């Protein structure tokens, strides 16, 4: 709604305008009325109306004199419309010299007044839009300049006019960095900007992807701290489900020194690595005396963790990463150091367990996912989960490869057994030929064939013996020897076990 002030020395004229015109439907609200130009000047100053509708002829100070006095005094930009009768049309012409292009004829008719007010409303909308665009351009230029100050690339003296809107009496300046996910940044920034609306001592500058810097001037460091807490608490409440890190730097007495505040805010931001994602505002004074270290044996740790991958020991790997995380936290190892180690280790796991060629050819997101591990939004706990997931995937691929290879090995072993079952073949001999441990070989054959080595060997021999028995050319003892048995008794035992008949009974049954 636009605010309207009505000025006329005739009470009936004021009453008619108030009652006959549907101001709310037209987008206006009446904020005051008065009877002369002198009172009108005072009410314009107090009420700051967007539109003043004034009569021309009034005592003490006429409508046109009031407009001239307001413009000469350099008052805020206000739109004026005059009320005039047909006999006072020359006043309307004079009004044009004061930039007044709208007038209402007396007596006021609702239809005619409504048409004129709709035109005024359109102009006010256009002017508001233009004003907003100008303000946005100026604020963006000021924000870009502030960003240069933050990065130490310029100084206040380079373009003081861009900072004209900031308070000159601020004795404390501070920087608060706000970091979120890139895909949620526009929403977070918009909410932060809304919270700063109307604050002449605050500027919001876009920084790296997913982050912005709030520069705040205040009368004292304590006042600045309270303001930061109020704003960041409100922002956290408005973004309850959005990852949000907010870190303030050291205070500085002059605007030229905000590069120091920015650098210490960046340092503070790193300490979220060992904190919960919803930790709220973290201030430099809280971490000032908590330096990071690089005290850990990365070679030993990398070898230990890759050893668990090589031995396909996922529980062991997870236990070791949990221990490593506790060690990182206790020693307060630099987040950058930990990130580099984790990324390096994930690369090593990928080398140990590469993707199949057909999958690797289409795996374009792998490098992108690794690049995401450098994000400052990743806490230690989330980073270790990425490492565990990489190990689980790698060990899974190695298990698949082992199963594939064992399948190929079993196929070759089965083929060898079928070709040599007539010989004096043992599982020890077979293990020597294929360079496998006898126990592992026996378990592998049971897993893949559904039967052990001896059962398979006897099955092949008895199948061959059955064929020879049906041919009736060889003696039973010759058949036993031909299919691989050193003595007839062993042959008889295995034949009866398999066929539930003796070899002789089987031959007679088939005659």
Confidence check: pLDDT of 331 > 90: yes
In whole angstroms, how far apart are CA 418 and each of 329, 430, 488, 492?
Answer: 60, 12, 21, 21
Of 340 and 202, the one with more pLDDT: 340
Cβ pair 142, 165 in contact under 8 A? yes
Which pLDDT score, from 0 to 100, does residue 356 have?
Answer: 66
Phi, psi of 355 (to 5 degrees): -70, 150
What are 333's strand-pairing partners? Answer: 293
- Per residue in 448-471, pLDDT (tens digit) is 889 999 999 999 999 999 999 998
The H-assigned helical ranges of 172-220 are 185-196
Please provide the DSSP assignment of 123-139 as one string.
HHHHHHHHHHHHHHHHH
User: Which own/partner pairs from 38-47 qualify as long-range (CB within 8 Å, at least 24 positions apart)?
Assistant: 38/66, 39/7, 40/5, 40/7, 40/66, 41/66, 41/69, 41/70, 43/5, 44/5, 44/70, 44/75, 44/78, 45/75, 47/3, 47/5
pTM above 0.75, yes or no: no
Going by pLDDT thresholds of 50, 70 and 90, the confidence category of residue 365 is very low
Can you give the pLDDT at residue 168?
60
User: Token digits for 10?
Assistant: 């005739």
Q: pLDDT at residue 301 above 80?
A: yes
Per-residue pLDDT tens digits for 126-184: 888 666 655 554 466 777 788 888 888 777 665 665 565 565 667 898 999 999 988 88
Separation of alpha carbons 43 and 50, rounded Å: 12
Q: What are phi and psi of 364, to 5 degrees?
A: -90, -15
Task: Answer whether 60's CB lies under 8 Å from 14's CB.
Answer: no
d(CA 309, CA 387): 12
Q: What SS3 class is residue 160? A: helix
Tell me the C-alpha distance between 74 and 342, whole Å: 64
Using CA atoms, how far apart are residues 45 and 75, in angstroms rounded to an integer? 8
Q: Which helix (H) or strand (E) holds 337?
A: helix 335-352
Mean pLDDT of 92-100: 66
Contacts of 41 by beta carbon, 8 Å cutoff, 6+ apart: 61, 66, 69, 70
Q: How confident is the model over 19-55, as pLDDT tens digits?
A: 889 999 999 999 999 999 999 999 999 999 999 999 8
Q: What is the DSSP letter of 52?
A: E
Q: What is the pLDDT of residue 47?
A: 93
Q: Residue 503's pLDDT band (boundaries 50, 70, 90)?
A: very high
Handedness of CA 142, 253, 376, 234 (dihedral sign): negative
User: Which residues 6+ apart lie within 8 Å of 483 measured at CB?
Assistant: 421, 422, 461, 462, 464, 465, 468, 491
pLDDT at residue 236 is higher than 80:
yes
- Rounded Cα distance between 240 and 191, Å, is 12
Structure tokens at 430: 């077979």
For residues 228 and 360, is the Cβ–Cβ distance under 8 A? no
Q: How far is CA 452 from CA 103, 414, 458, in A?
A: 107, 11, 10
CA 123 from centre of chain = 42
What percentage of the chain exceeds 70 in pLDDT?
Answer: 88
Q: What is the C-alpha radius of gyration for the chain, rounded to an integer number of angstroms?
A: 44
Helix (H) or strand (E) holding 54: strand 51-55
Evaluate whether 88 touches 65 at the Cβ level (below 8 Å).
Answer: no
**How would you list the strands of the sheet with 28-34, edge to edge?**
28-34, 2-7, 51-55, 79-84, 103-105
Contacts of residue 156, Cβ cutoff 8 Å, sequence gap at least 6: 149, 163, 254, 255, 256
Instruction: State the virtual CA torsion across 235, 236, 241, 243 in degrees, nearest 10.
Output: 90
Q: What is the pLDDT of residue 256?
A: 84
The DSSP secondary-structure symbol of 58 reads -
Strand partners, 54: 7, 82
Closest among 212, 223, 164 to 187, alpha carbons compared: 212
What per-residue confidence (pLDDT) applies to 93?
62
């Amino acid at each position: 709604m636009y605010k309207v002030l009505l000025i006329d020395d005739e009470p009936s004229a004021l009453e008619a305008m108030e009652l006959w015109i549907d101001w709310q439907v037209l987008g206006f609200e009446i904020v005051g009325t008065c009877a002369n130009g002198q009172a009108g000047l005072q009410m314009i100053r107090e009420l700051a109306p967007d539109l003043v509708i004034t009569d021309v002829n009034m005592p003490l100070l006429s409508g046109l004199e009031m407009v001239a006095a307001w413009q000469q005094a350099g008052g805020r930009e206000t739109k004026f419309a005059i009320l005039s009768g047909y006999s006072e049309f020359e006043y309307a012409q004079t009004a044009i010299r004061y930039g007044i292009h709208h007038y209402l004829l007396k007596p006021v008719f609702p239809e005619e007044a409504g048409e004129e007010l709709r035109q005024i409303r359109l102009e006010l909308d256009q002017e508001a839009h233009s004003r907003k665009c100008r303000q946005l351009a100026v604020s963006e230029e000021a924000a870009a300049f502030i960003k240069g100050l933050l990065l130490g690339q310029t100084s206040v003296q380079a373009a003081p006019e861009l900072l004209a809107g900031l308070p000159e009496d601020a004795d404390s300046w501070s920087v608060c960095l706000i970091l979120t996910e890139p895909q949620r940044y526009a929403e977070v920034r918009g909410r932060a900007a809304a919270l700063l609306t109307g604050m002449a001592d605050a500027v919001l500058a876009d920084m790296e992807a997913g982050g912005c810097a709030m520069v705040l001037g205040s009368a004292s460091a304590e006042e600045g701290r309270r303001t930061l807490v109020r704003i960041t608490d409100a922002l956290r409440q408005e973004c309850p489900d959005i990852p949000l890190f907010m870190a303030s730097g050291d205070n500085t007495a002059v605007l030229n020194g905000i590069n120091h505040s920015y650098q210490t805010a960046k340092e503070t931001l790193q300490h979220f690595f060992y904190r919960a994602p919803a930790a709220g505002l973290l201030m430099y004074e809280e971490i000032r005396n908590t330096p990071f270290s690089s005290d850990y044996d990365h070679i030993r740790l990398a070898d230990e963790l890759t050893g668990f991958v090589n031995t396909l020991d996922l529980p062991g790997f997870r236990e070791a990463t949990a221990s490593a995380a506790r060690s990182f936290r206790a020693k307060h190892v630099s987040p950058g150091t930990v990130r580099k180690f984790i990324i390096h280790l994930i690369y090593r796991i990928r080398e140990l367990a590469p993707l199949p060629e057909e999958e690797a050819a289409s795996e374009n997101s792998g490098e992108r996912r690794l690049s995401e591990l450098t994000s400052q939004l990743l806490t230690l706990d989330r980073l270790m989960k990425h490492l565990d997931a990489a190990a689980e995937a790698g060990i899974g691929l190695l298990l698949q490869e082992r199963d594939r290879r064992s399948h190929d090995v079993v196929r070759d072993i089965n083929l060898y057994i079928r070709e040599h079952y007539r010989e004096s073949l043992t599982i020890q001999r077979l293990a020597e030929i294929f360079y496998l441990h006898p126990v592992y070989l026996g378990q592998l054959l049971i897993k893949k064939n559904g039967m052990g080595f001896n059962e398979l060997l006897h099955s092949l021999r008895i199948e061959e013996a059955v064929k020879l028995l049906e041919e009736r050319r060889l003696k039973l003892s010759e058949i036993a020897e031909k299919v691989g048995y050193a003595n007839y008794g062993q042959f008889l035992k295995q034949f009866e076990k398999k066929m539930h008949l003796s070899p002789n009974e089987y031959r007679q049954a088939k005659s």
